[in-house]
Amino acid sequence: MTAQATRTAFVGATLIDGTGALPVADTAVVVGDGRITWVGARADLEHAPDLRIVDTGGKYMIPGLLDANVHLLIHVDPDVLLRYAPGCYDELVLEAAQIALRAGVTTVFDTWGPLESLRRVRDRINAGQAIGSRVFCAGNIIGNGGPYSADFFPNLGAGLSSSVVEAINRHWEQGVGAALTWMPAADVRVAVREYIATSDIDFVKYASSSHAHSRFLALSPDSQRAIVEEAHAAGMTVQACTQSPEALKAAIDAGVDLLQHGDVTGLHPMPEETLDRIVERRLPCVAFLYTQRHTTAFLERKPQWHGNDAWGEVMMVKDLNDRKLVKAGAMLLLGNDMGVYGPTAETSPMWGPFQSGIPDVPTHLGRSHIFWLRAAIERDMAPMDALLATTSNIAQAYGRLDELGTVEPGKRADLLILDADPLADPDNYARIAHVVKDGELVDRDRLPEHPVLTR
């Protein structure tokens, strides 16, 4: 994983560079020192003795994929977490980062997780001490409690000692948990400033909607504005978790840079006025797209979410919003709470109803992005737009377009080389010839190196 001394040329592929430009056949891309140094026609490539040639003739090259909403540790059931001392989940996080990388997702944005493990794994990968997707992380969703708190999955912690529950939750909460929802906005500002200053996070996420009781606002518009100002003052992008029309509007009013599942608006469709604002401002919006066959199976099952037995209706409203957003040309991003689940998730009181015996489960890191892409096509998104939703749109939304998201000189050399045209069929994103990260060919067969959940 040390930087390459020599340069490598990927020669012959049809390039879809992620800028929205049309595909170009017979290209060559040169990488060196982890970056793209040259992009051009194959015919124009200057050969040199130290230039390693990788033949990609007949293949398709696109930017390494990004995922705007993952949770590298999401299978937070006791049988997983209690194997470790609280907070020491590095091997689970790394496993997930490697599963993502194997699938060509070279960059992930972790939007809720155990910060200490996330940071350690992120830093080891960045330092070349470990292999895996490039990780950016938010730590906690400001205003929410940890995994076994009332905001998330209290039923999973129902049989645990309260001291154990608290020790675990603390690793997610990081001092900006549910207590902030009780605070006046001025106190929220102070707490968030402290968090940003000390936590070594990459971006900020907060709860506009209550997570479990999603028709309520978790943080007031004043508190939201304070958070956005603090994030921006620190040079970070900031995003909000929204689940209702008013929470969505509050987040937009507060000035967020990214709407996390802005397509989920509960029992009421997104107002036209809000839709217009999202489109006109090109406000990046992660959409929770599900394939039609998943949606159908899901609705038959009448699942509950946090005891909400109208969840099916929420999903139908979401789908209506998705179709409108696509049609209006909103700037949508791939993301679906993807993470890695072990086999016990099949019978988990939390995950079983959502994952067991149902097709196209949208939340499996390394697989479900294909379902997302298919769902996008089903909803009439243009194939090129779907590609942008998984590449440059995300880089732009997170303020990383100078480094990531397209195949252009000067960018990080993250490339996904496919055996078939991804614009022809979303399944072709899974027909991987090579994954290149930081200019190096990934040995996909080795990943994950130390499988735990996927053993």
Token pair for residue 168?
């675990």
How many residues bind a copy of itself, per CB under 8 A? Answer: 55
Binding pattern to a copy of itself, positions 104-143, x when CB under 8 A?
----------------------------------------
Ranges within 191-230 binding a copy of itself (CB under 8 A):
210, 213, 215-223
**With respect to a copy of itself, which residue has the nearer C-beta, 151 or 440?**
151
State the angle between helix axes of 311-328 and 272-280 in degrees (0 to 180), rounded to the nearest 10: 50
Nearest to 10 by CA among 64, 65, 51: 51
- The answer to whether 248 and 272 are in contact (CB under 8 A) is no
Q: How far is the CB of 314 from a copy of itself (least distance, A)?
A: 10
Q: What's the rounded Cα separation, in Å, for the pair 53 and 32?
A: 12
User: CB under 8 A: which stretch of 92-100, 152-160, 373-381, 412-420 binds a copy of itself?
Assistant: 152-160
Assess 357 for contact with a copy of itself (CB under 8 A): no
**With respect to a copy of itself, which residue has the nearer C-beta, 155 or 296?**
155
Q: What's the rounded Cα separation, in Å, for the pair 273 and 279?
A: 10
Pairing of strands 65-70, 285-286: unpaired
Q: What's the rounded Cα separation, in Å, for the pair 183 and 179?
A: 7
Assess 396 for contact with a copy of itself (CB under 8 A): no
Choosing from 125, 156, 192, 287, the residue that interacts with a copy of itself (CB under 8 A) is 156
Assess 353 for contact with a copy of itself (CB under 8 A): no
Choosing from 106, 260, 295, 348, the residue that interacts with a copy of itself (CB under 8 A) is 348
Radius of gyration of the chain (CA): 21
Assess 451 for contact with a copy of itself (CB under 8 A): no
Assess 186 for contact with a copy of itself (CB under 8 A): yes
Q: How far is the CB of 218 from a copy of itself (least distance, A)?
A: 6
Assess 275 for contact with a copy of itself (CB under 8 A): no
Choosing from 57, 58, 128, 352, the residue that interacts with a copy of itself (CB under 8 A) is 352
Assess 349 for contact with a copy of itself (CB under 8 A): yes
Assess 455 for contact with a copy of itself (CB under 8 A): no
**With respect to a copy of itself, which residue has the nearer C-beta, 273 or 419?**
273
Assess 282 for contact with a copy of itself (CB under 8 A): no
Q: How far is the CB of 416 from a copy of itself (least distance, A)?
A: 34
**With respect to a copy of itself, which residue has the nearer C-beta, 3 or 186?**
186
**With respect to a copy of itself, which residue has the nearer C-beta, 160 or 320?**
160
Q: What's the rounded Cα separation, in Å, for the pair 367 and 360?
A: 9
User: CB under 8 A: which stretch of 9-17, 177-185, 196-204, 329-337 binds a copy of itself?
Assistant: 177-185
Assess 416 for contact with a copy of itself (CB under 8 A): no
**With respect to a copy of itself, which residue has the nearer C-beta, 177 or 426?**
177
Nearest to 167 by CA among 243, 94, 88: 88
Binding residues for a copy of itself (CB under 8 A): 77-79, 82-83, 155-164, 178-179, 181-187, 210, 213, 215-223, 244-247, 249-250, 266-268, 271, 273-274, 343-349, 352
